[in-house]
Amino acid sequence: MSGTDQIHLRLPARPEYGRVARVAAAHLALRKGFSIAEIDDLRLAMDEAAILLLGNRSGDATLSIIYEVDPDTVRVDARVVDDEPTELSGDRIERFVTLAGNLVDEWEVHAELGRISLAKRHAQ
């Protein structure tokens, strides 16, 4: 993989599919030579991102994730696609910030859009 690759993943927006998003992020980081600690940080941040976005969701919504991978960074942009906009709750945002904010190098929550972006860089 050279340059920047984009991987698009669409999953049912239900908590039981959060693991798939986490495993995909961890695998991409592993392929780029991230350390075990860096992979664990990204994996945990993805867990918290899934909790933030999905909560106790059920129904026909879709979790749309775009992973952008370059030689030293894994970027993730995730959102719930639904007929009705999903605003993220302040409690779940606070949980993400507390538990995962320091695990990644960049993050941004767009509460009104039901979207989160994060990035983890490989320390070389």
* Cα torsion 10, 15, 20, 21: sign: positive
Tell me the CATH class for 5-121. alpha beta
Determine the average pLDDT of the residues in 27-45: 96
**25-29, 59-63, 71-75, 107-111: lowest mean pLDDT where?**
59-63
**41-45, 81-85, 114-118: lowest mean pLDDT where?**
81-85
Q: Classify residue 89 by its DSSP letter.
A: P
Distance in angstroms (rounded) separating the CA atoms of residues 101 and 107: 7
pLDDT given for residue 113 in this prediction: 87
Query: In the chain, which residue ranges form alpha helices assigned H by DSSP?
Result: 18-31, 36-54, 90-100
Distance in angstroms (rounded) separating the CA atoms of residues 25 and 19: 10
Mean model confidence pLDDT for the chain: 91
Distance in angstroms (rounded) separating the CA atoms of residues 35 and 37: 5
Residue 1: pLDDT band with limits 50, 70, 90: very low
Residue of higher predicted confidence among 1 and 32: 32
What residue segments make up the domains of the chain, in order of their start? 5-121
**30-39, 68-77, 80-89: lowest mean pLDDT where?**
80-89
- pTM to 2 decimals? 0.90
pLDDT > 70: percent of the chain: 95
Decide if pLDDT at 83 tops 80: no
